Amino acid sequence: MVPHLATALNGPLLDFEKKILEATPSIERWFRLEWQEHTPPFYCSVDMRNSGFKLAPVDTNLFPGGFNHLGSEMLPLAVQASMAAIEKYCPDARNLLLIPEDRPCNASYWQNIARQMQIYRQTGLNVRLGNLDENATEVKTIVLADGAELLVEPLQRSANGRRLGLKNFDPCTILLNNDLSTRIPAILENIHEQTLLPPLHAGWAMRRKTNHFASYDEVVKKFAKMVEIDPWLINPFHAKCGDVDFEAGTGLDGLMASVDTILAKIRKKYKEYGIKDKPFVIVKADAGTCGMGIMTVRDSREVRDLSSKQRNKMTVVKDGREVHDYIVQEGVYTFEQIDESVAEPVVYMIDRYVVGGFYRVHQDRGVDENLNAPGMEFVPLAFAQQHAVPDVRAKPGTAAPNRFYMYGVVARLALLAASLELEKTDPNPEIY
Amino acid sequence: MVPHLATALNGPLLDFEKKILEATPSIERWFRLEWQEHTPPFYCSVDMRNSGFKLAPVDTNLFPGGFNHLGSEMLPLAVQASMAAIEKYCPDARNLLLIPEDRPCNASYWQNIARQMQIYRQTGLNVRLGNLDENATEVKTIVLADGAELLVEPLQRSANGRRLGLKNFDPCTILLNNDLSTRIPAILENIHEQTLLPPLHAGWAMRRKTNHFASYDEVVKKFAKMVEIDPWLINPFHAKCGDVDFEAGTGLDGLMASVDTILAKIRKKYKEYGIKDKPFVIVKADAGTCGMGIMTVRDSREVRDLSSKQRNKMTVVKDGREVHDYIVQEGVYTFEQIDESVAEPVVYMIDRYVVGGFYRVHQDRGVDENLNAPGMEFVPLAFAQQHAVPDVRAKPGTAAPNRFYMYGVVARLALLAASLELEKTDPNPEIY
């Protein structure tokens, strides 16, 4: 299915698409050289918003959980990319231990795990699932919609305590698909003989969105200079705001000030580009996931005047964790629509390669709201359909592959930012 | 388009498909380890024949010329694979010099070049075409069916004589798509500062099919042991026969003896498997290309009793070169059909990755004849359609992706053989 798009690609983005296409050899070479210096995360998905005048990543996920939403015709790409990744980390790997979420955000999560297992098996690995729940002693069976069964087995350390595996299964590589929202479980500490991907500090117990977007600022600055664009076209303003307690009502002045600052910056840019839309910001938990702890703010007084229910929603996120640090991010309208529902693209990468994507669609949400919420649906991005490689001669804004290429470029900028972010936040940087 | 296949997959191959699918993780790991030891050619295509009881590569092309026949949905795979390859050879590459055939086998060849240029551009390279014809002083313009133009520019060595390029174009990598049938042109000699792919001894001026198939014997021996199959199921018998002169009538006794030996070996195998078909061999120029210098032989007396026209066809091949060395190869029936025409699969690889394929179809040829001949047509292999990754649970012989995976495995065995062959025949082996 090719989604029906109602995107109003206009002025600045058309020009951006044109520049991106013309500069393809330079852009790809630039990425190639950056990947000589930086190691990409094993996998990554990037939520993006396209407002017609701006295309920006708004969230970079290092534990992507929607592989089942990619078109099946994209699978060979994913297999090939994961071959390249595995060869780098552990060329003689035979066994891969995949550690899924213990409490997934949504029911279709296990289809994602089944899909990932299929990809890694095809890569040349025996794949088994480990249960991060330390109280688990039995094998847990998960029955999928098609009747297939997944077995999630209790983790165990080897007799000498140096290795992590399952009963009769000693992996070379351990792949986390669990975002470690609350804490880093002891059983994952001190793994030195095996490759643990992504590293522990990529989990939300330690990771912060503001670190990511600070790295993204850096990456975009370099990239925008190369292709000669205003960095703002692909980068949302953001600010960090700590020590906020919605329940106690403390720290709200600081938050309001940040909101005002970002709104003022957006207003200035909108004026520069003649954009008539109303500026807004998104306030998000700096370490939140599953689309929780997120609100749209059009006026700074809104953060002061929350209802008690709203305050609670902003404070308590996944797994009951309390939040006091927030990121205030420029809101980017999404002017893409599928069947009159608001849609945003999500791009998936393995290693340094784009392997597919989908549209997240929500029929009850507005163009300035978070779509990662119950009721969302998924439509595969038509990457592999039609002529899957950009057509330089097409009129800007008219060819789907050209738009997807542009999405892939911006998503890879976020991927590169994640790579820098992980380097900078590494608690044991000597291993680099 | 999904080709309608009339293949009678029976006994031994069904069992082989089952074994291959079950052993996927081991097979992929085995390839991964082999590629740690051996460097794959930059690109390669393999002509295969599927007789229902046997699946074998019959020709391995190191200058593939049919990229235009791959489905366009396979392009992202080709781009990704060529990114992996370029990163290995020359990570900071900016310019690629592609040297096409000066006298292509067929008119659609230039569409292949246009397609390749598109792939390498997307890989992050500026691509220009060089004319191997040393007498060329002007830029040659080739107009494609869609009106696009290709410019083939005169080659030139740099002022100090150490580098090869074009006017105002200094490439890091030089990619030959010219099989050097007659000789190695002086302008390609002594290139030490740039990467020349594939190496000169891969050209037909030096390459011999019998060397390739000797390496293939080795590869298959190892592989067959791992998956526990009779190597014959994927390997045609072959023998080398030199000093043959069809015109002078000399050396024919030796050739007849070789034909008899191979026919006897096939007969024995057919008996073992209860195959009722009539054994045949293919006699081919040991260094031939473009489907020239090839005959089907069912009885050794046929090589003695050729008409004068047939003798000439076996002696004079591409670019007027005279042949005296032949390979006698077990003939493999092709029992695949598309619209009642005989078809054989051709699998394309870049670096160590399968990136697509097509069926070569010929409505005027029989199941025991060479299909690489005027009148042939091409139908893209449906790799990327349906569910592009094998389905282990499907009944053997029923799922197209499972068959294509099997084709991909056998094609990669031939690719690995080519890699070994190039190592062994390297005139300057110290560079490895």
Q: Tell which of A389, A402, A406 to mutate to test the B interface (max B CBs under 10 Å).
A: A389
Q: Tell which of B22, B32, B86, B348 to mutate to test the A interface (max A CBs under 10 Å).
A: B32
**Residue owning tokens 């303003």:** A237
**Residue owning tokens 């936040």:** A425
Is the domain of B284 the same as that of B402? yes
Across the interface, do A29 and B94 touch by the CB < 8 Å criterion? Answer: yes
> What is the C-alpha separation between B294 and B408, in angstroms, rounded?
25
In tens, the pLDDT along B394-432 reads: 776 667 778 889 999 999 999 999 999 999 999 987 654
Are the CB atoms for B309 and B25 separated by under 8 Å?
no
Across the interface, do B389 and A76 touch by the CB < 8 Å criterion? Answer: yes
Domain boundary among B172, B205, B238: B205
Q: Is B42 exposed, middle or buried (0-12, 13-18, 19+ CB in 10 A)?
A: buried
Domain boundary among B168, B190, B205: B205
Select the more confidently predicted residue: B392 or B84.
B84
- Going from the C-alpha of B182 to that of each of A194, B134, B248, the distances in angstroms are 53, 14, 22
Is the domain of A327 the same as that of A349? no
Is residue B432 in a domain?
no
> What is the C-alpha separation between A244 and A109, in angstroms, rounded?
32
| Two tokens, residue A149 | 């069964």
Q: Tell which of B20, B33, B73 to mutate to test the A interface (max A CBs under 10 Å).
A: B73
Please indicate if any CB of chain B lies within 8 Å of the CB of A146: no
> What is the C-alpha separation between B190 and B177, in angstroms, rounded?
19
At residue B34, the pLDDT reads 97
Distance of CA A304 to the CA centre of its chain: 29
At residue B42, the pLDDT reads 97
Give the pLDDT band of residue B368 (cuts 50, 70, 90).
confident
> What is the C-alpha separation between B431 and B420, in angstroms, rounded?
15
- Going from the C-alpha of A374 to that of each of A62, A358, A370, the distances in angstroms are 21, 17, 11
- Going from the C-alpha of A45 to that of each of A69, A330, B197, the distances in angstroms are 12, 20, 35
**Residue owning tokens 């590629």:** B35
Q: Is B377 exposed, middle or buried (0-12, 13-18, 19+ CB in 10 A)?
A: middle
Residue B257 CB partners (closer than 8 Å, separation 6+): B300
Select the more confidently predicted residue: A343 or B382.
A343
Are the CB atoms for A120 and A79 separated by under 8 Å?
no
From chain B, pick out residues whose CB is under 8 angstroms from the CB of A388: 72-73, 75-76
**Residue owning tokens 């929202």:** A181
Report yes or no for ipTM above 0.90: no
Is the domain of B183 the same as that of B228? no
Q: Which residue does chain A place closest to B71, by CA atoms?
A: A387
> What is the C-alpha separation between A64 and A60, in angstroms, rounded?
9
Across the interface, do A77 and B76 touch by the CB < 8 Å criterion? Answer: yes
Are the CB atoms for B51 and B345 separated by under 8 Å?
no
At residue B105, the pLDDT reads 76
At residue B10, the pLDDT reads 59
At residue A279, the pLDDT reads 96
> What is the C-alpha separation between A337 and A372, in angstroms, rounded?
15
Across the interface, do B124 and A32 touch by the CB < 8 Å criterion? Answer: yes
Is the domain of B200 the same as that of B92? yes
Is the domain of B133 the same as that of B162? yes
Select the more confidently predicted residue: B374 or B253.
B253
Q: Which of A28, A81, A385 is opposite residue B123, by nearest beta carbon?
A: A28
> What is the C-alpha separation between B298 and B263, in angstroms, rounded?
8
From chain B, pick out residues whose CB is under 8 angstroms from the CB of A91: 32-33, 36
Q: Looking at CA atoms only, how far is residue B72 from chain A in angstroms?
A: 6
At residue B322, the pLDDT reads 83
**Contacts of range A280-284, beta carbons closer than 8 Å, 24 or more positions apart:** A280/A331, A280/A368, A281/A328, A281/A329, A281/A330, A281/A331, A282/A58, A282/A328, A282/A329, A282/A330, A282/A331, A282/A370, A283/A255, A283/A259, A283/A314, A283/A326, A283/A327, A283/A328, A283/A329, A284/A209, A284/A326, A284/A327, A284/A329
Is the domain of A221 the same as that of A282? no
> What is the C-alpha separation between A102 and A178, in angstroms, rounded?
7
At residue A247, the pLDDT reads 87
From chain A, pick out residues whose CB is under 8 angstroms from the CB of B124: 24-32
As averages over each run of 10 residues, the pLDDT of chain A (432 residues) reads: 49 83 94 96 96 93 94 88 92 95 86 96 96 92 92 94 95 95 88 93 94 98 96 97 90 95 97 94 87 88 89 80 91 86 92 93 87 84 58 72 89 98 89 49
DSSP code of residue B130: E
Query: pLDDT above 70 covers what percent of chain B?
Result: 94
Is the domain of B50 the same as that of B106? no
Angle in degrees, 0-180, between the axes of helices B24-37 and B400-424, rounded to the nearest 10: 20
At residue A34, the pLDDT reads 97
Q: Domain range spanning residue A250?
A: 240-331
pLDDT of B386 above 80: no
Please indicate if any CB of chain A lies within 8 Å of the CB of B158: no
In tens, the pLDDT along A349-363 reads: 999 999 999 999 888
Angle in degrees, 0-180, between the axes of helices B209-227 and B400-424, rounded to the nearest 10: 130
Is the domain of A157 the same as that of A262? no
CATH of the domain at A195: 3.40.50.11280
Q: Which of B27, B80, B387 is opposite residue A353, by nearest beta carbon?
A: B80
DSSP code of residue A411: H
At residue B1, the pLDDT reads 35
Please indicate if any CB of chain B lies within 8 Å of the CB of A121: yes
**B 284-313 residues with CB < 8 A to A:** none
At residue B430, the pLDDT reads 63
Are the CB atoms for A127 and A165 separated by under 8 Å?
no
Across the interface, do A25 and B124 touch by the CB < 8 Å criterion? Answer: yes
> What is the C-alpha separation between B334 and B311, in angstroms, rounded?
26
Please indicate if any CB of chain B lies within 8 Å of the CB of A314: no
> What is the C-alpha separation between A161 and B12, in angstroms, rounded?
47
Q: Strand, coil or helix: what is B171?
A: coil
Q: Looking at CA atoms only, how far is residue B91 from chain A in angstroms?
A: 7
Is residue A432 in a domain?
no
Q: Tell which of B389, B393, B405 to mutate to test the A interface (max A CBs under 10 Å).
A: B389
> What is the C-alpha separation between A97 and A196, in angstroms, rounded?
10
Q: Which of A24, A76, A84 is opposite residue B121, by nearest beta carbon?
A: A24
At residue B8, the pLDDT reads 52
The average pLDDT across B167-182 equals 94
Is the domain of A266 the same as that of A188? no
> What is the C-alpha separation between A43 and A78, in angstroms, rounded?
10
Is residue B396 in a domain?
yes
Q: Which residue does chain A place closest to B21, by CA atoms?
A: A122
In tens, the pLDDT along B324-345 reads: 999 999 999 988 888 788 889 9
Domain boundary among B205, B221, B255: B205
Residue type, B394: A
Please indicate if any CB of chain B lies within 8 Å of the CB of A86: yes
Is residue B73 in a domain?
yes
Across the interface, do B72 and A390 touch by the CB < 8 Å criterion? Answer: no
Is residue B383 in a domain?
yes
Please indicate if any CB of chain A lies within 8 Å of the CB of B83: yes
Is the domain of A201 the same as that of A227? no
Across the interface, do B122 and A86 touch by the CB < 8 Å criterion? Answer: no
In tens, the pLDDT along B98-109 reads: 999 988 878 889
Alpha helices in B93-190 (DSSP H): 109-123
Kindly give the pairing relationship between strand B195-197 and strand B173-177. Answer: parallel
> What is the C-alpha separation between A387 and B68, in angstroms, rounded?
13
Is the domain of A200 the same as that of A264? no
Q: How many independent structural domains does chain A possess? A: 3
Q: Which residues of B392-418 are buried (b: 16+ CB within 10 A; e: fewer)?
A: eeeebbebbbbbbbbbbbbbbbbbbbb
> What is the C-alpha separation between A165 and A97, in angstroms, rounded?
7
Q: Tell which of B21, B26, B31, B83 to mutate to test the A interface (max A CBs under 10 Å).
A: B83
Is the domain of B54 the same as that of B80? no
Across the interface, do A31 and B76 touch by the CB < 8 Å criterion? Answer: no
The backbone region for B232, taken as left when phi is positive above 0, alpha when psi lies in -120 to 50, beta otherwise, is alpha
Please indicate if any CB of chain A lies within 8 Å of the CB of B119: yes
Q: Looking at CA atoms only, how far is residue A416 from chain B in angstroms?
A: 17
From chain A, pick out residues whose CB is under 8 angstroms from the CB of B24: 121-122, 124
- List, in sequence order, every residue forming a beta bridge with A46; answer none if it has no partner: A60, A347
> What is the C-alpha separation between A269 and A284, in angstroms, rounded?
22
Across the interface, do B80 and A121 touch by the CB < 8 Å criterion? Answer: no
Q: Strand, coil or helix: what is A48?
A: strand
Residue B265 CB partners (closer than 8 Å, separation 6+): B237, B330
> What is the C-alpha separation between B190 and B162, in angstroms, rounded?
8
Q: Looking at CA atoms only, how far is residue B325 from chain A in angstroms?
A: 39
Is residue A431 in a domain?
no
At residue B100, the pLDDT reads 97
- Going from the C-alpha of A42 to that of each of A30, A339, A356, B51, the distances in angstroms are 20, 34, 15, 41
Is residue A223 in a domain?
yes
Is residue A162 in a domain?
yes
